[in-house]
Amino acid sequence: MTFALVIEWLIKGFVLVLILLGGFAYLTLYERKALARIQVRIGPNRAGPWGILQPIADAIKLIFKEELTPARSDKLLFILAPVITLVPALVITAVVPWGPTLTVFGHKLTLYIADINVGVLYIMSVTSIAVYGIVLAGWSSNNKYAMMGGMRSSAQMISYEIALGLSFVSAIMLAGSMRMLDIVDAQKSLWFVLLQPVGTAIFLIATLAEVNRPPFDMPEAEQELTAGYHAEYSGMKFALLFMAEYDKMIAISMIGATLFFGGYREFWFLSNTVFSVDRTPWLGPVYLFVKLVILLFGMIWVRATFPRIRYDRLMAFGWKVLLPLSLAVVFITGVGIILAEQINPLWMWGIPAVSLLVGIFAIAMIDRELRRKDYARR
């Protein structure tokens, strides 16, 4: 390990953290603007042209806001909880590659912080740490609503983490590796969203629950819990919790783009052209960014459209629908891969076909169940 390499890592890590922190600020603006347009409003447009200075104004306001610590709260944990929540959200992106190896002035520059051979496992373990922060924030506040928010979030995040992990498994099996770079390379010809559409759908639904986004924002339901676990937080501590939430959104969208939507690879219609990543490697981060923006828009769009799900329905959906469905998807993927290896590569297309059938069955079952309950109520 040379000194130059250490410097390179430091710079890359610093740049990534800066991108995430700046990205958080502008994600809030993006969300507010997109929500406003969906609600036929304009959105923030006073600070700077088109409101582009709004995040800075918000930051200044939050910094100068009075910080309150509730009486008889656990002071140490109260201060530590936002930090525990934020750090995993930042650290998680270390394994996500943003592009292929670049050659800058004869020096090979790799566009990722760490190349861990169990990258997906690393992501799973780091996301689990974030639950601690939220539960501790709820518990140390000495407030029953915050406590309930924290409890709900721990139950919800642990439940959906299983479905999330199993949807990761299908991508791992299709790539045959847990290394993020291998997963991206395996999607050179075909994105995994086409091979495993149901797994991708499970991933997208479970991420919404995992980062506490509507319609699964139970831990911070404003109307029932008065903002849940961060009810007692103000000033920069609140900003840290908020930052963690939005950085988790960015991180999970990056992971989703990497696992199912080809990562930094070009869009399918651009392959074998000049815009391919193989020919112009610096386009990698651009493609990842475009996919990120699209996935984030999906999250905002869903927030603007669907109402919050009742808590028991949320847990029932996680345990009774998503978990069996993701297990079935993992099983189908495994069988499909074995058949493709042993008999004929065309069996690969059995994976999406059978998974879609199972997905359709699941939708039909949910519909039947909901209609049955509806009938019984009348």
Would you say 138 and 123 are in contact if contact means Cβ atoms under 8 Å apart?
no
Q: Least CB distance from residue 57 to another protein, whole Å?
A: 17
DSSP string of 92-149?
GGGG---EEEEEETTEEEEESS---TTHHHHHHHHHHHHHHHHHHHHHHTT-HHHHHH
Structure tokens at 319: 């345990």
Say whether residue 194 binds another protein (CB under 8 A). Answer: no
Q: Tell me if 367 contacts another protein by CB under 8 A.
A: yes
In the complex, minimum distance from the CB of residue 350 to another protein, in angstroms, rounded to a whole number = 20
Contact status: 306 vs another protein (CB under 8 A): yes
What is the rounded CA–CA span in Å between residue 296 and residue 249? 7
Regarding 305 and contact with another protein (CB under 8 A), the answer is yes
Closest CA to 352 of 202, 177, 192, 185: 192
Strand pairing partners for 102?
109
Query: Cβ 131 to another protein, closest distance in Å?
Result: 29
C-beta closer to another protein: residue 13 or 298 = 298
The answer to the question of residue 301 lying near another protein (CB under 8 A) is yes
Q: Is 294 in the site for another protein (CB under 8 A)?
A: no
Smaller CB distance to another protein: residue 227 or 366? 366
Per CB under 8 A, 37 contacts another protein: yes
Which residue in 19, 38, 77, 316 binds another protein (CB under 8 A)?
Answer: 38
Residue entry with tokens 């049955």: 372
Q: Is 279 in the site for another protein (CB under 8 A)?
A: no
- State how far the Cα of 151 lies from the Cα of 160, in Å rounded to an integer: 14
Beta bridge partners of 104: 107
Q: Which of residues 42-61 bind another protein (CB under 8 A)?
A: 42
User: What's the CA angle centered on 138, arms 133 and 139, to 5 degrees?
Assistant: 100
Are 79 and 141 in contact by the 8 Å Cβ rule? The answer is no
Minimal distance, residue 179 CB to another protein, in Å: 35
Residues linked to residue 111 through DSSP beta bridges, in sequence order: 99
Rounded CA gap, 52 and 144, in Å? Answer: 38
If binding is defined by CB under 8 A, does position 290 make contact with another protein? Answer: no
Candidates 11, 18, 41, 50; binder of another protein (CB under 8 A) is: 41
Stretch of 60-68, 230-238, 253-261, 366-374 contacting another protein, by CB under 8 A = 366-374
Nearer to another protein, 301 or 349 (CB): 301
Residue 360 binds another protein, judged by CB under 8 A: yes
Q: Which stretch binds another protein (CB under 8 A): 17-25, 68-76, 92-100, 299-307?
A: 299-307
Q: How many helices, marked H, and strands, marked E, lie in the chain?
A: 14, 2
Residue 215 preceded by cis peptide, ω within 30: yes
**373 contributes a contact to another protein by CB under 8 A:** no
The single residue among 15, 83, 364, 372 that binds another protein, judged by CB under 8 A, is: 364
Which pair of structure tokens corresponds to residue 122? 């690393």
Residue type, 377: R
Contact flag: residue 363 with another protein (CB under 8 A): yes
- Angle (CA) 355-329-340 rounded to 5° is 75
- Which residues, other chains included, contact 211 with Cβ-Cβ below 8 Å and sequence gap of 6+? 245, 248, 249, 252
Instruction: Give the residue, chosen from 61, 310, 368, 372, that forms a contact with another protein under the rule CB under 8 A.
Output: 368
Q: Which two tokens stand for residue 207?
A: 């991420």
DSSP character for 310? Answer: P
Least CB distance to another protein at residue 271 (A):
29
Binding part of the chain for another protein, among 61-69, 72-80, 343-351, 358-366 by CB under 8 A, reads 358-366
Residue type present at position 320: K
What is the nearest approach in angstroms of another protein to the Cβ of residue 37?
5
Nearer to another protein among residue 19 and residue 38 (C-beta)? 38
Binding residues for another protein, rule: CB under 8 A, are 34, 36-42, 301-302, 304-306, 360, 363-364, 366-368, 371
